[in-house]
Structure 1
Amino acid sequence: IIKAVKQRMATIRQTLPKGVTVDVYLDRSELVGRAIHTVQKNLLEGALIVVFVLVLFLGNWRAGLVVASVIPLAMLFAISLMRLFGVSGNLMSLGAIDFGLIVDGAVIIVEAIVHRLHGGGAGLTGRLSGEQMDEETYLAASKIRSSAAFGEIIILIVYLPLLALAGIEGRMFRPMAQTVAFAILGAFILSLTYVPMMSALALSRNADPKVTISDRLLGWLTRRYDPLVAGALRHKTLVLATAVALLVGAFLLFRTLGGEFIPQLAEGDFAVELRTLPGSSLEYTIEKSQQAAGILQRQFPDEVKEVVAKVGAAEIPTDPMPVEAADLMVILRPQANWKKADNQAELAEQMAAAVGVIPGVTFGFQQPIQMRFNELISGAKQDVVLKIFGEDLIQLADYARQAGAVVRRVPGAEDVYVEQVTGLPQIVVRLDRARLARFGLSVGEVNRTVQTAFAGQTAGQVFEQERRYDLVLRLRGDLRRDINSVRQLFIATPTGQQVPLEQVATVALEEGPNQIQRDDTKRRVSVGFNVRGRDVETVVREVQQHLRQQVRFAPGYYTTYGGQFENLREATDRLSLAVPVALGLIFVLLFFTFNSVKQALLIFTA
């Protein structure tokens, strides 16, 4: 898509008027390129390590290459199915592939074949014929086939819980589970067909037993392992008690771990949400945006490449925002050039402190994709959104201020934003019907005049080649903002007399609602915050605890938590059902493999 946009922009640039240029300040293809390069590098390094370990421990370079050849073939199988099912190749899907899992079944089968041919256990000597080689390979592979098959099926079952995820978490993690499942399925098929065939063709037919470097290495390990096993068998009670203690300790430690919906990806840039006071003009927001951009560029010259501000809505309002809000895109230089910080979190804290000196303006530091992701989840740009529901706007605003004060005292909660639902200055006109009747005016006539003066009235149309624009008549901007000009607005009476508005109405400057937000037809106000330095779940739990202790809500008022915490909770609920089912299936497969509940439990508890 980005390549197609660049090609189209090259055509558009040729049609621009003289002096007009289009500059790209945020190019996500660079992030995609870095991610794909990371995946390619990791896959290549992983493949080389696996091949080295296979050759070393199998003690037979031919056997190692037979197993290693499963990797590209399984990847080809996986990529074909990804193409068939519409799964894209990205950091999440390709980055989860583990070559050790892919070659697991092939290693088992090849090791069994090598052991039968060259281990001396089958009593084979001399050079085998083609028929003998095929028969011995078949016997060795058939004996171990069920163990290899069940092992790979168990690995497939491990990824089933991820396929049960829904919503945004499902769209993120399901491709990863699908890609790994495709690769393991391909390796499973290859281990039962391709691997025995290639072993019969590629392995040496000389069946005379011989000692390899692998035998020496494993013998050295065995001599040190035997005393350890003997000691464990002599002290069964101690070993069992230690295992139980470790299990209980691991469970208790697991309960203290925090939780996050997804790990944060280092995008290499910042998206800063800027908010001025309600009712601020466009000029004021632009001024503060430029002031913040200047501070960042002056104080962080080695870290900041450029700062671009976006205010309001475009002609096609896909991302509308009020004039008192702006998004600052802080384009960063490569991290190797940074001097004031070692990572993005530290740099964000320093930048937040630098722009925090601007009075009456709040800032929230995130990353471009992270900000849009949060908006898709909850409609807000922060990581976590506390929503307070109720009827009275003034009461909601008071609860929001109290909740904001509580959140600010929780460690890890940064960039706290309290939604302003009141405080917007408004010029309110209250008509006096008795005075209107005295001049023979109606409410509709006065409203029409006021509407024309402030909102404007179409007086005609202007044509510019194929485009057509409405010609709107209204008062000048300075007159619309002056309450005295509003009071002196003349109203035409039926007799032709001009009457000032203040003679038939009371004109006053009052505070009104800034915005009224609803979820499920219920009024609500939100308190948003980002999480840095701690996990989302722990921070939200502390916020919930402090709110219960410090804020008393009237009947009919309640809170909910959205954003990443909401998705984390939903994913946890689904996994709490899917994981036990997967564990049950694994135990059933172990039972069918060994035909013994005791042996299945022995392996399952490990």
Structure 2
Amino acid sequence: DRSALIERAVKTLEEKLLEESLVVALVCILFLLHFRSALVAILILPIAVLISFVIMRAQGLSSNIMSLGGIAIAIGAMVDAVIIMIENAHKHLEREGGAKPHWQLIRDASIEVGPTLFYSLLVITVSFIPVFTLEEQEGRMFKPLAFTKTYSMAAAALLSITLAPILMGYFIRGKMLPEEKNPLNRFLLWIYHPVIDFVIRRRWAVLLTAAIVVVWVFLPWNWLVTNRLPGQVNRLPSPQGRGAGGAGEQTSRKPWISSLKPWAEKIGKLFPFQNLGSEFMPPLYEGDLLYMPTTFPGISPTEARAILQQTDKIIKTFPEVHHVFGKIGRAETATDPAPMDMVETTIMLKDEKDWPEADIKDTAGKIVAHRRRTPEELTEAMNTAVQFPGLNNAWTMPIKTRIDMLATGIKTPVGIKIAGPNLAELERIASEVEAVVKTVRFTLSAFAERTMGGNYIEFKIDRDAIARYGLTVGAVQDVLEVALGGMPLTTTVEGLERYAINLRYSRDFRENLEALREIVVPTPAGAQIPLGQLATVDVVRAPMGIKSEAAVPNAWIYVDAKGIDIGTYVQMAMRAVNEAVAKGTIHLPSGYNIFWSGEYEYMLRAQQRLMIVVPLTLLIILLIIYLNTRSLVKTAIVLLAVPFSLVGAFWILYLLNYNLSVAVWVGLIALAGLDAETGVVMLLYLDLAYEEWISKGQMRHLTDLRDAIYHGAVKRVRPKAMTAAVIIAGLMPILWSHGAGADVMKRIATPMIGRVVTSTIMELAVYPAIFYVWRSRRLQTLFPSPAPGSSSGSR
């Protein structure tokens, strides 16, 4: 039943939407000290959200984790444009209040930044095109998010150029407190004055530093050390550190090269991008657990039931567990073809606030804390408690497992499929692969299905013997069918319900070969002949089930890893298997193939799709920016923000120990639009100041260019601080939330928070330096450079 999970997830996101709305109002009031100005943003936000809901209703899109998540992560950017317009209107009223009619000032302020903001929001909307191209499971999961975020941004773009100017005209009235008299703004300007002076004077140092920072984040240090360090032979990544590991020896022709290995590994940890792991999706904590041990084939129903009852009793002893229920074999449905050796126990947990405190122990058994267990710690404790010989444990989530098994049939994060014509050969290859994979570091469990592991009772009827007694094959088979399968005798009526009454031998009798041989078969002459005289009764091994894909038989290996991301683990395991095939440890005849499945298959498909679509989307964004700026140089400057913002995104992902997943890539894709808005708006302010200086005839020396840049950059401090505060404070509730659905939304929000930090530095420090270098080249032929030590102009 998914209803409880869905209700918890929707409630979590509804709370975050309310928190973010309050944050928007608070930021506007603090920076503008004008309550009625904050009302403009406060009114625009729910109207835009309401428009999104109306479109969702018309489209038939339900309110779920992802659709509401799209609105949650869009709120900061939705009010971004409105905040800039409000702040620009304040500047006009502060500067020219009383000199022009009120509505004329509002109109001028809106026209000044409105078109640029509309193009910026259009870019943000277009930036989600790659998400719409995702297929299958990842497409079904993230398309609702992309739809709602697109609807929200489109609504915000429309309202920012239609309703917002009208609301500003009515609400932004009265006395406007000058920016420099607001204590918060005065503090920001006090900090920014020496920064902008340093940036313009040391512009080349600033640009060089920015370039080094970008290169540092993306430099593939481990690859350079592995493949380009002199004297290395078959050097493989070290198993130390996150995202590393592997089988094989690391050798060197020169002893001094080996002495550098520890230092190279330490330095490699300082490069965040190469240390990020990869996975298909972050774990979505459903509030319940699924325990899926696998036994060896051929287990009897009696023994399987005993194991199920024993494990259920042990799991129920944990105080965090509300109740458990288990299942052996397949259910009465075509979508659950589980064999008898597959046990499924669904563990319904209590609400986390009701979990008692417990002793937390380290690997050595020493108590290190006394608190509530995390879901991961609880799973580890349960796994330790249900260790039985012959059981290969696997732990996952109920809904996630059902989706995965319906899609690929693999119940563990990693699956290996061996394809070939002969079942016995498939079992041999699968067993060899299983043995190799178990030696790979971080492997928690690896279990190969025994394709020939079923035990069957085989009856071979002796046709000559039955002919002597006047019997037919059908007559003997009818006796076996009644004795073993049962025969309906009658029907009992219990009220409105009817139940069939079947007759057959008891289980103990059916499982005893000697007892089966003593089954008597009546002859036409009235004699009773034991079955042992008419047929041979033996136990034979045969397939318990035959799996196939593309009409080719398969053998599957279920692999679970711990303490490492899926992408890195599969690379390690794949390398180990390939080496074993090359060495002959795994004998892979012609016509047999090894495929890697599970979450890795999803991840690979999504990455391949995004590698094609993302560059095309960037080209569309470039075209939109060019249509707005009408300058290739400005377009290139704007797009420089993309790699710089990724610096903050990758650093925060690395520090929070998040892996690259589809959810993270969705967050990174959203950065492209936000970066375009950042660059376009900053260039607008710098250009306005530059054109103002030229129109007034004040652009006579390069020092005047410095003054113009200073003037334009300072005007951007307050709106940038407001938008950054709204985005960070709006996304922080998602980052610290722990409810259902929060894990996925954290991965989307985290890159956006890291991006805000570095984009603020880019916009307020790097952009002015780039703008000065660009414009100064045009002016150098007309004006001489200022003398060393000259002032940058009066402030």
Specify the TM-score bucket, using the shorter chain as the normaliser: 0.7 to 0.9
Instruction: Output aligned runs, 1:378-397, within 5 Å.
Output: 378-397=408-427
**Structure 1 counterpart of 2:140:** 171
- Structure 2 residue corresponding to 1:544, chosen from 552, 562, 574: 574
RMSD of aligned alpha carbons: 2.7
Matched, 1:352 2:383: yes
User: For 1:34 and 1:160, how far apart are their aligned partners in 2?
Assistant: 29
Give % identity.
29
| Structure 1 moving runs of 4+ over 4 Å | 27-30, 205-211, 250-253, 312-320, 458-471
| 8 A Cα contact 1:387 1:526, kept in partner | yes
Shift of 1:172: 0.6
Relative to structure 2, which stretch is displaced further, 527-536 or 319-328? Answer: 319-328
| Paired residue type of 1:303 | E
What secondary structure sits across from 1:235 in the alignment? helix
Shift of 1:253: 4.6
Shift of 1:462: 4.5
Sort the Cα spacing of 1:393 and 1:211 in 2 relative to 1 into closer, same or farther, 3 A: closer
Instruction: Output aligned runs, 1:273-312, within 5 Å.
Output: 273-298=292-317, 300=318, 302-312=319-329
Instruction: Output aligned runs, 1:250-269, within 5 Å.
Output: 253-269=272-288
| Paired residue type of 2:630 | N
* Per-residue deviation, residues 566-587 of structure 1 (Å, max 9, x unmatched): 1111111211122111111111
**Structure 1 counterpart of 2:453:** 423
Gaps of 5+ in 1: 1-26
The number of residue pairs the alignment matches comes to 570
Matched, 1:40 2:14: yes
**Structure 1 counterpart of 2:63:** 89
* Per-residue deviation, residues 173-221 of structure 1 (Å, max 9, x unmatched): 0111111111111111110111100111111255896743065234313
User: For 1:258 and 1:242, how far apart are their aligned partners in 2?
Assistant: 23
User: For 1:55 and 1:521, how far apart are their aligned partners in 2?
Assistant: 66
**Structure 2 counterpart of 1:560:** 595
| 8 A Cα contact 2:339 2:544, kept in partner | no
Sort the Cα spacing of 1:212 and 1:83 in 2 relative to 1 into closer, same or farther, 3 A: farther
| 8 A Cα contact 2:217 2:273, kept in partner | no
Relative to structure 2, which stretch is displaced further, 336-345 or 376-385? Answer: 336-345
**Structure 1 counterpart of 2:203:** 233
| Paired residue type of 2:591 | G
Shift of 1:51: 2.4
User: For 2:284 and 2:197, how far apart are their aligned partners in 1?
Assistant: 47
| 8 A Cα contact 1:161 1:578, kept in partner | yes
**Structure 2 counterpart of 1:152:** 121
What secondary structure sits across from 2:98 in the alignment? coil
| Paired residue type of 2:165 | P
Shift of 1:229: 1.1
**Structure 2 counterpart of 1:199:** 168
| Paired residue type of 2:344 | D
| Paired residue type of 1:106 | V
User: For 1:210 and 1:254, how far apart are their aligned partners in 2?
Assistant: 40
**Structure 1 counterpart of 2:86:** 110
Sort the Cα spacing of 1:513 and 1:460 in 2 relative to 1 into closer, same or farther, 3 A: same
- Structure 2 residue corresponding to 1:49, chosen from 11, 20, 23: 23
User: For 1:181 and 1:193, how far apart are their aligned partners in 2?
Assistant: 18
Instruction: Output aligned runs, 1:369-380, within 5 Å.
Output: 369-380=399-410
Q: Which has the higher contact order (CA 8 A, sep 6+)?
A: 2
Sort the Cα spacing of 1:308 and 1:468 in 2 relative to 1 into closer, same or farther, 3 A: closer
- Structure 2 residue corresponding to 1:488, chosen from 518, 536, 545: 518
Sort the Cα spacing of 1:389 and 1:315 in 2 relative to 1 into closer, same or farther, 3 A: closer
**Structure 2 counterpart of 1:12:** none
What secondary structure sits across from 1:339 in the alignment? strand
Matched, 1:162 2:131: yes
**What TM-score, normalized by structure 1, do the two folds share?**
0.86
User: For 1:288 and 1:486, how far apart are their aligned partners in 2?
Assistant: 27
**Structure 1 counterpart of 2:76:** 100
Relative to structure 2, which stretch is displaced further, 558-567 or 474-483? Answer: 474-483
* Per-residue deviation, residues 31-68 of structure 1 (Å, max 9, x unmatched): 33432332233222222223222233345433233123
Sort the Cα spacing of 1:242 and 1:180 in 2 relative to 1 into closer, same or farther, 3 A: same
Sort the Cα spacing of 1:243 and 1:324 in 2 relative to 1 into closer, same or farther, 3 A: closer
What secondary structure sits across from 1:306 in the alignment? strand
**Structure 2 counterpart of 1:5:** none
What secondary structure sits across from 1:553 in the alignment? coil
| 8 A Cα contact 1:439 1:493, kept in partner | yes
| 8 A Cα contact 1:275 1:324, kept in partner | yes
- Structure 2 residue corresponding to 1:187, chosen from 156, 175, 185: 156
Matched, 1:524 2:541: no
Gaps of 5+ in 2: 222-270, 361-372, 581-585, 642-795
User: For 2:106 and 2:593, how far apart are their aligned partners in 1?
Assistant: 70
- Structure 2 residue corresponding to 1:577, chosen from 601, 612, 619: 612
| 8 A Cα contact 1:232 1:239, kept in partner | no
Relative to structure 2, which stretch is displaced further, 194-203 or 243-252? Answer: 243-252
| Paired residue type of 2:98 | T
**Structure 2 counterpart of 1:19:** none
Sort the Cα spacing of 1:119 and 1:217 in 2 relative to 1 into closer, same or farther, 3 A: farther
- Structure 2 residue corresponding to 1:271, chosen from 284, 290, 308: 290
* Per-residue deviation, residues 461-516 of structure 1 (Å, max 9, x unmatched): 55445544444443333222111122222333344433322223222222222222
| Paired residue type of 1:348 | T
What secondary structure sits across from 2:400 in the alignment? helix
| 8 A Cα contact 1:306 1:332, kept in partner | yes
User: For 2:288 and 2:114, how far apart are their aligned partners in 1?
Assistant: 51
Shift of 1:70: 1.5
Sort the Cα spacing of 1:449 and 1:107 in 2 relative to 1 into closer, same or farther, 3 A: same
Shift of 1:169: 0.8
**Structure 2 counterpart of 1:125:** 98
* Per-residue deviation, residues 101-152 of structure 1 (Å, max 9, x unmatched): 00122122222222222224xxx536x6xxx222222222123221111110
| Paired residue type of 1:490 | V
